[in-house]
């Protein structure tokens, strides 16, 4: 299995010739040039990721990292930690929103217990039984942060061996909009109150507690923005660490990875700070309702497809993109060309 350092060293630029061949294929199809917009761009990107103009994303999976966060002690959430385990088990019972989405689009849902406070039927790759309360002490050790990232890398390796060609990122963990907000406050160098939202539905009083807890953690532990792993260790969560590993593993193993919303986006930004080249292997799905959603997309230099005011999490926004990608690939592979129709090709305008 790849280590953290080996994974970073393995990440290469996208394959230019494959992207150029994919673009030429699009331009030969009997339709106005680039009239499918971002759909065409993503197919070209996937060609560069897979290093071939032939696209193979038939087998898809949503990886959902499940973990609990000690900062819940500070009253930063509307519900308790027992909900993490309940929803995580519902992933396997086809009773969660994301599992129903996956069933609808023909994707597999892979939940992983990377750090829940209880053991459940969810497969375990547990770093610890929840993180510490970051308002009082660092959320985890530096070694645990690396371990959580390597869980994500290992998961991508396992899925690649099984033939998966497209991955999406999801999570379940009460309190993880607090940890995500803390990470983004540090890495985006923004005020806490600008980055932090109401999560699953906090009252104004709850939002003030959330902002206080984040500010307290950052002031107390002084996470180093030049060392993203240090930021993860001091104010992050195991679920975010696992997703960082999925993004880095996807880049190293040449599999496109779809970003979900705010929490997944926070992991994507952290992965890109660890290895900037990893951004090229990421696909943005939607614009989350959380306040920092646009900041995250700007930091990643990504444009999202969907603007549905969603903030459910679990990978729902990422999976919602799958049918659009399938439609784009179907046109790319099957539509007749100008030559087939004996038509004059469209010429690019200045």
Of 131, 37, 31, 46, the C-alpha closest to 81 is 131
Beta bridge mates, 246: none
User: 276 burial class (0-12, 13-18, 19+ CB within 10 angstroms)?
Assistant: exposed
Cα distances from 295 to residues 61, 190, 266, 269, in angstroms, run 27, 10, 10, 10
Catalytic residue among 9, 314, 333, 344: 314
String of DSSP letters for 18-79? HHHHHHHHHHHBSSSTTTTTHHHHHHHHHHHHHTSSS----SEEEEEEEE--GGGGGS-SSS
Dist CA 285 CA 42 (whole Å): 11
Residue 209: is it exposed, middle or buried by C-beta count within 10 angstroms (0-12/13-18/19+)? middle
Does the annotation mark 314 as catalytic? yes
Residue 311, C-beta contacts closer than 8 angstroms, at least 6 positions apart: 197, 261, 262, 288, 289, 290
For residues 14 and 29, give the distance between their C-alpha atoms in angstroms, rounded to a whole number. 24
Closest CA to 109 of 67, 34, 171, 53: 171
Which has the closest alpha carbon to 275: 304, 302, 250, 305? 250
Helix (H, G, I), strand (E, B) or coil at 81: coil
Q: Are 72 and 81 in contact (CB under 8 A)?
A: yes
Ramachandran quadrant class, 51 (left: phi over 0; alpha: psi -120 to 50; beta: rest): left
E strands, the chain, are 60-67, 108-115, 166-172, 257-259, 282-284
- Three-state DSSP class for 96? coil
Catalytic residue set = 314
């Amino acid at each position: 299995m790849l280590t953290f350092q080996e994974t970073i060293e393995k990440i290469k630029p996208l394959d230019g010739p494959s992207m150029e061949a994919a673009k030429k294929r699009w331009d030969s199809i009997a339709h106005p040039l680039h009239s499918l917009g971002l759909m065409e761009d993503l197919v070209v990107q996937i060609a560069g990721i897979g290093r071939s103009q032939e696209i193979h994303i038939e087998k898809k999976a949503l990886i959902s990292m499940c973990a609990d966060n000690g900062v819940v002690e500070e009253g930063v959430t509307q519900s308790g930690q027992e909900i993490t385990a309940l929803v995580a088990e519902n992933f396997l019972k086809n009773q969660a929103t994301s599992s129903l989405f996956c069933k609808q689009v023909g994707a597999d849902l892979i939940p992983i217990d990377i750090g829940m406070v209880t053991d459940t039927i969810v497969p375990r790759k547990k770093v610890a039984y929840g993180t510490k309360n970051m308002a009082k002490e660092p959320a985890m050790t530096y070694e645990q942060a690396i371990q959580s990232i390597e869980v994500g890398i290992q998961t991508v390796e396992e899925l690649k061996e099984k033939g998966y060609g497209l991955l999406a990122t999801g999570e379940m963990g009460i309190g993880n909009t607090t940890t995500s907000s803390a990470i983004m406050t540090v890495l985006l160098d923004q005020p806490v109150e600008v980055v932090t939202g109401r999560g699953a539905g906090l009252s104004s009083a709850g939002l003030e507690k959330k902002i206080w807890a984040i500010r307290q953690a950052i002031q107390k532990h002084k996470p180093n923005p030049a060392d993203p792993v240090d930021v993860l260790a001091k104010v992050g969560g195991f679920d975010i660490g696992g997703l960082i590993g999925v993004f880095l593993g996807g880049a190293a193993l040449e599999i496109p990875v779809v970003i979900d919303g705010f929490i997944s986006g926070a992991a994507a930004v952290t992965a890109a700070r660890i290895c900037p080249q990893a951004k090229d292997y990421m696909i943005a799905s939607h614009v989350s309702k959380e306040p920092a959603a646009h900041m995250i997309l700007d930091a990643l230099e990504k444009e999202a497809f969907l603007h549905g005011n969603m903030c459910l999490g679990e990978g729902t926004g990422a999976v919602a993109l799958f049918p659009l990608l399938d439609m784009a690939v179907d046109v790319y592979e099957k539509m007749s060309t100008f030559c087939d129709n004996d038509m004059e090709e469209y010429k690019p305008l200045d």
